[in-house]
Structure 1
Amino acid sequence: MKDIRVFLVDDHKLLLNSMKVMLEKDERIKVVGEGYNGKDFLKALDSKVFDIALMDIDMPEMNGIEAAKKAIAKRKDIKIITVSMFDDFDHYNKVIEAGAMGFVVKNAESHELIKAIYNVYEGEKYFSPQLLENAIEYMSQRNDKSKIKYLLSKREDQVLKMICQGMSSAEIAEELEISPRTVEKHRDSLLKKTKSKNSVTLAVFAAQHNLL
């Protein structure tokens, strides 16, 4: 199987070294470079070949959100996962608007970060369950929970609950004994019915309308 080439961006050198050691315990993940701020990352786009960038948000000279926007404007195919101590809904929105495909909180276990890398490498998005929980709590406090019933099939209801638990399409498919393609069809249907943009906004919608 092909290696997953990862570029790390964080202004804390000790954290970078620890992350590199941890990631390379996985046989497929290879760290091919590192930078200490957004400017380093943008320079690396011209000289380094990698599949995924893991990038902090709060960095000197250029933060991760600005760097992500500029990188994606330059290379549409680039895949970015933000790794940050910020787990609030406001930072989530900024990360999504910047075009990142994942958001992992820094206090996550190593297996979660590796899972995020594999998911994003396969073209899926990944957001820490903790982020989903915080987003749901934030929106629940701002809005009265409605008892509106939406026309979801039994299977869509099952898929919705699993998405809100942070499960990937492959994990849902295995649990329900259906194909990943079928899971994606249910996910697309849920997004359309709820007018949600992604898994996090879908989870927030579900919490607002008592669908969990």
Structure 2
Amino acid sequence: MIRIILAEDQKMVRQGLRMMMETDSEITVIAEVENGKEAVTACENHVCDIIVLDIRMPVMDGLTAAQIIHERWPNRKILMLTTFNDENYAVEALRSGANGYMLKDAEAEDLIRAIRSCLSGGLSLQDQVAAKIMPTLINQQQERSVDPSLTPRELEILQQLGNGKSNKEVADALYLSVGTVKNHISIILDKLELRDRTQLAIYAIRHHIV
């Protein structure tokens, strides 16, 4: 069962989102909260797999909550769900530790697919969000060249991550085991001094590896 904490300040929207997500029999919303502070508290009180956060909420916004949750529970996935198709919000969400960024007008099947993608280690961006965010990432200030310590195999894996692939998808594409892929990702993170696979994906984009 996929256990979700849902943070959304508007009750009717929150109820609608819950109904959409729970059309999948393997998904259950274990807690509904109205702001980011309550989302952090819910993470303390519940064991969950993924936190679905609105961005603009009272008391504490979703970006701040995402950063706190990611730092305290790095293995829990975070999906931002918002009305704002804005590249600055999306970039900030990824920097805060989010594993995906979806719009509230998404179809139920797209939302469920995004949840499953985040849980499998993928980077889930709605198409119209990706269309905005990729040029923003690529056109940011010039980065240093690709770390020369990366091996050809590590660069292949980094390329796959930059394309939003999950560990299993990377393993299938490169004919490796999932365990081997995880080991390579850990080594790449250490070499690049990055904290998670989302930062690896951004690194790959900025350095034109994808």
TM (norm. structure 2) is: 0.72
Question: How many Å separate the matches in 2 of 1:77 and 1:145?
Answer: 28
Unaligned runs of 5+ in 1: none
Percent of pairs identical after alignment? Answer: 26
Question: How many Å separate the matches in 2 of 1:79 and 1:177?
Answer: 26
Counterpart in 2 of 1:187?
A: 185
Name the larger-Rg structure: 1
Match of 1:102 among 78, 82, 99: 99
Q: Spell out, residue by residue over 1:77-136, the C-alpha distance to the aligned partner (whole angstroms, 9 max, x if none).
A: 765433233553565446644xx45232215554454345345556x4744276666554
Counterpart in 2 of 1:88?
A: 87
Question: How many Å separate the matches in 2 of 1:175 and 1:136?
Answer: 23
TM-aligned CA distance change 1:46 to 1:191, over 3 Å: closer
Question: How many Å separate the matches in 2 of 1:129 and 1:192?
Answer: 29
Q: Spell out, residue by residue over 1:159-210, the C-alpha distance to the aligned partner (whole angstroms, 9 max, x if none).
A: 2221111111012112333211111122223333444333333233333433
RMSD (Å) for aligned C-alpha atoms: 3.7
**Does the CA-based 8 Å contact 1:146-1:208 persist in structure 2?**
no
- Amino acid corresponding to residue 87 of structure 2 in structure 1: D
1:44, distance to aligned residue in structure 2 (A): 4.4
Unaligned runs of 5+ in 2: none
**Does the CA-based 8 Å contact 2:39-2:65 persist in structure 1?**
yes
Moved more, 41-50 or 201-210: 41-50
Counterpart in 2 of 1:150?
A: 148
SS of residue matched to 2:139: helix
Question: How many Å separate the matches in 2 of 1:62 and 1:136?
Answer: 28
**Does the CA-based 8 Å contact 2:93-2:101 persist in structure 1?**
no
After TM superposition, the structure 1 = structure 2 runs for residues 44-83 of structure 1, keeping only pairs within 5 Å, are 44=42, 50-68=48-66, 80-83=78-81
How many residue pairs match? The answer is 207
